[in-house]
Every structure is written in C-alpha cells, then in structure tokens.
Amino acid sequence: MKPDLFEAPDYYNIDDLLTEEHKLIRDAARSWVKRDVSPIIEEAAQEAKFPKSIIPGLAEIGAFGPYIPEQYGGAGLDQISYGLIMQEIERGDSGVRSTASVQSSLVMYPIWKYGNEEQRNKYLPKLASGEWMGSFGLTEPDHGSNPGGMVTNFKDKGDHYLLNGAKMWISNSPFCDVAVVWAKNEEGRIHGLIVERGMEGFTTPETHNKWSLRASATGELIFQDVKVPKENLLPNKSGLGAPLGCLDSARYGIAWGVIGAAMDCYDTALRYSKERIQFGKPIGQFQLQQKKLAEMITEITKAQLLCLRLGQLKNENKATSAQISMAKRNNVDMALKIARDARQMLGGMGISGEYSIMRHMMNLESVVTYEGTHDIHLLITGLDVTGLNAFK
Ligand SMILES: Cc1cc2nc3c(=O)[nH]c(=O)nc-3n(C[C@H](O)[C@H](O)[C@H](O)COP(=O)(O)OP(=O)(O)OC[C@H]3O[C@@H](n4cnc5c(N)ncnc54)[C@H](O)[C@@H]3O)c2cc1C
C-alpha cells in the first residue's frame, strides 16, 4: 500500500469550533492511525483477519468507552470527542471502527446504563483497557430490521437462567470474551444478559466469505442450554428500548466515523487528480473530475456540520433518536457515493489495494446496512415528521 499522506479537509474552518481538548484528542487518534493502522490494514483486509495487535492502541487513544466515566476505566470525554475519535479510526478502516463502536456503545454502554454497580466494576475497566473484548447480539437469522420478533429466549430455573437461541452477523463474536445478548423471558419481555466465553453451550463460529469489513471479525453467537448466572442479567432496563438505546449511541458514532472514510477517499482522489497526466494535463484539470471533487468536498463539509451540531445536542442530552437516524443515513450515503466517485477517478488503480478507496467502498456496503439499513432510517425520519408509522 502507498504511504499514508492523508491531509484532512476542513473547508469551513470547523476546527475553529472545536476546543483545544477536542483537537488534541483528534490529533492523537489521527497520528495513531497513521502509525499503527495504515501500514497493516490492507494486508489484514486482504487476508480477512482482524489485526488484534491494535487492541492496546485503541484502548490508549480512548476508543473503548470514550464517554464512559473515568471511575470505570473510560476516558470520561464528551460526545464530540467520541465522534472525532470514531472519525479518525474509520479514516483508517470501517472494520476497526466497528470493533471500537461495538466495544464502546454496544457492550460498555448497556453495562454502564442498564447494569448494576457490581456489573460495572467487574466488566467496564477490563473492557476499557482491551483486556476483554465484547460483542452485541441482537440480530437473528430471521429477525434483522425487526429485532422485536426475536426468538432467542431464557427461562428462570431458580438459581440460574437457561438461554437458548442464535444470533448472526455479530461483530467481534469470534474472539469476544463477553457478549451482551438480547433475549426474551417467559413473558416475552426483552432483557439483556451478559454471557461469558467458557459458559457451557455457548459457541461463536466465524462467518467467512465477506467482501466487506474484511478486517473485522464477524460471526454467530449460539446458545444451547447455556446456564447464565442470575447476576448476569442487566437489571435497570428491559424491552426493545434497551437495545435501541445502545444503537442510538453507536449510530451517532457511525455518523462521525464515515466522514473519516469519505475524507480519506476525497484526499486520495484529490492528490491523484493532480499527479495523473492524461491528454497532456493532470486529470484534475478536466471539468468532469473537478465536478466530482467539488461535490465531494461540499458533501463532506455538510456532513461535518451535521455531526458537530448533533454532538452539541448529544452533549446537552437533547439529541433524539430520529435526529441520530437522519445523520447516520445521510452520512453513510454521502461516504458511499464519494467512495464510488473517488474509485472511478483513480481509473484502474482505483480497484487496487495500493490505495484505500476500494476497501472503504466495500466496507461502507456493510455500514449502510448495519445498525439500521438506509431504508429503515428513512422510515424513522418519515415517522418522525408525519407521525404516521410505515412499519405497521
Ligand atoms: C458486517 C456486519 C456486521 C454486523 N454486526 C452486528 C452486530 O455486531 N450485532 C448485531 O446484532 N447485528 C449486526 N449486524 C446485523 C445488521 O444490523 C443487520 O444486517 C441489519 O439490521 C439488517 O438486517 P437483515 O440483514 O436481516 O436485513 P433485513 O431486515 O432482512 O432487510 C432486507 C431488506 O429489506 C428492507 N426492509 C426491511 N424491513 C422493511 C420495511 N419495513 N420497509 C421497507 N424495507 C424494509 C431493508 O431495508 C433491507 O433492504 C451486522 C451486519 C453486518 C453485515
């Protein structure tokens, strides 16, 4: 792969709206990605292997639980810092950002918000340091966009719960130490359970043959009469709103993260357009290529402003789920379109692993699907503005 020459675009001087702390945190993550992710990520993606060697580095830049209080090992940062860290990591690779998102928003967040003090103290510090890695089991083979239909269930057996069912498309599953699993009790109410590797009847087979997020490990979570201790049930929230609360936090991180992927594609295409000569001119001098670049930087700038405002609302606890949906949908679509245009601008080189664009493009095909598909987020916005529910 080519050396990482990335220079972040900031067309509207958005840096002026960030605090010194935001910029320090962002720049630390940016340097780490350049030093520790860029040199290894293409090979990891080609080999379809999650590069476990980067786990301590992710912990060091605060990517595991950026907004979790320091007393539990988190970084205790605000929501804009969280977003900026996700942006920088996804600039390197969406798969690496997925690992961090799952750990922070889908594993640490529910333990912090819905767990009790013993659970927080037992799990959060180890998850923040990367000593333990987590996964989040919501999606099932027959229930993706409609997780409320899940069939994974647990029964009260007196001194323990008996868990049965299967989850699929689970990021981090093949190597996770703990899984936050959503299952129905005998009354059909959804609860979160913390399942630990080593519990009898719990297996995590890997899913192979992915063309997307190849540097992220994906798999199943299978439960066959797993005895889960009663103290592993998350006591403070139940119902579908519990997993959806986690998804709000993760979707917010995605809205920022994909700006990173888009910036990397834009920056690569811009540099290439000045160096590549055809018909005696740099291709960047042709109007058709300028149109692509001009539209890319416009869309990136709009996405940056959208996220910054959403981050301010999140910091004030005012961001609604529907506002987060809009940002996730808009920004992923923006990044995917930029990746496709940038890939074309590199001609044949655009499909080569020498450059990051094709990897970003393939990764974003998962990002546009997980955590609520593009269509589902449109329906959420539609419901929010009309008050009419298209899901029913
Ligand atoms: C790489 C990867 C990693 C993932 N990681 C995780 C994870 O860590 N944990 C986890 O729980 N899940 C994870 N997922 C699962 C992901 O969240 C689901 O794939 C996603 O929610 C969509 O579900 P589905 O694949 O079953 O698609 P479906 O729900 O079957 O949807 C198929 C199509 O139908 C459309 N559709 C569905 N319902 C409607 C409707 N009412 N109106 C209009 N259109 C509709 C969808 O938009 C989509 O285009 C991951 C997925 C991938 C690909």
What was the pLDDT predicted at 61?
98
**Burial 292-326, CB ≥16 within 10 A → b, else e:** bbeebbebbbebbebbbebbeebeeeebebebbbb
* Three-point CA angle 316, 319, 320, nearest 5°: 145
What lines the ligand 1 site, CB under 6 Å? 102, 136-139, 144-145, 169-171, 213, 218, 366, 369-371, 373, 375-376, 379, 391
Mutate to test the pocket of ligand 1, among 370, 383, 388 (most ligand atoms within 8 A of CB): 370
Query: Residue of the nearest CA to atom 37 in ligand 1?
Result: 145
- The half-sphere exposure of 382 on its side-chain side, counting CA atoms within 13 A, is 10
Distance (angstroms) between ligand 1 centre and the Cα of 360 equals 20
pLDDT tens digits, one per residue of 65-76: 999 999 999 999
Enumerate residue ranges in the chain where pLDDT < 70: none
Q: How many CB atoms lie within 10 A of CB 236?
A: 12
Integer-rounded Cα Rg, in Å, for the chain is 21
Task: Give the strand pairing for 190-196 and 178-184.
Answer: antiparallel
**160-171 and 218-229 strand pairing:** antiparallel
- In angstroms, what is the span from residue 145 Cα to ligand 1's centroid? 5
**279 Cα to the center of ligand 1, angstroms:** 45
Mean confidence (pLDDT) of the chain:
98
pLDDT at 392: 76
- Specify whether the CB–CB gap between 138 and 220 falls below 8 A: no
Predicted confidence (pLDDT) per residue in 143-176, tens digit? 999 999 999 999 999 999 999 999 999 999 999 9
The pTM of this model reads: 0.98
Residue nearest to ligand 1 atom 7, measured at CA:
170
Q: Are 273 and 282 in contact (CB under 8 A)?
A: yes
Catalytic residues: 371
Contact in structure between 216 and 95 (CB atoms under 8 Å)? yes
For residue 103 the two structure tokens come to 């750990």
Cα-based distances in Å from 345 to 158, 341, 350: 63, 6, 7
With b meaning 16 or more CB within 10 Å and e meaning fewer, what string describes 349-379?
bbeeeebbbbbbbbbbbbbbbbbbeeebbeb
- Residue with the nearest Cα to atom 27 of ligand 1? 144
pLDDT digits 0-9 by tens, 188-219: 999 999 999 999 999 999 999 999 999 999 99
